Amino acid sequence: MFDAFPNMPAHTPARPALELDALKTRQHATWASGDYAVVGTTLQIVGETLCETADVRSGERVLDVATGNGNAALAAARRFARTTGVDYVPALLDKAAQRARAEGLALELIEADAEALPFDDASFDVVMSTFGVMFAPDHAKAAAELVRVCRPGGRIALASWTPSGFVGELLTTVGHHVPPPPGLVRPSAWGVRAHVVELFGEEVAEVVATRREFNFRYASAAHFIDVFRRFYGPTHKAFAALDPLRASLLEAEIEALVTRFDRGGEHALVVPAEYLEVVATRR
What CA–CA distance (Å, rounded) separates 195 from 178? 25
Q: HSE-up of 179 (CA within 13 Å, CB side)?
A: 4
Q: Are strands 269-282 and 204-218 parallel, antiparallel or unpaired?
A: antiparallel
**pLDDT, one tens digit for every residue, the chain (283 residues):** 434 443 344 444 444 454 777 887 888 888 888 899 999 999 999 999 999 999 999 999 999 999 999 999 999 999 999 999 999 999 999 999 999 999 999 999 999 999 999 999 999 999 999 999 998 989 999 999 999 999 999 999 999 999 999 998 998 899 899 887 777 788 899 999 999 999 999 999 999 999 999 999 999 999 999 999 999 988 999 999 999 999 999 999 999 999 999 999 888 999 999 999 999 999 9
What CA–CA distance (Å, rounded) separates 184 from 12? 6
Q: What is the DSSP string of 110-137?
A: EE-BTTB--S-TT-EEEEEEESSGGG-S
| Domains of the chain with bracketed CATH | 17-282 (3.40.50.150)
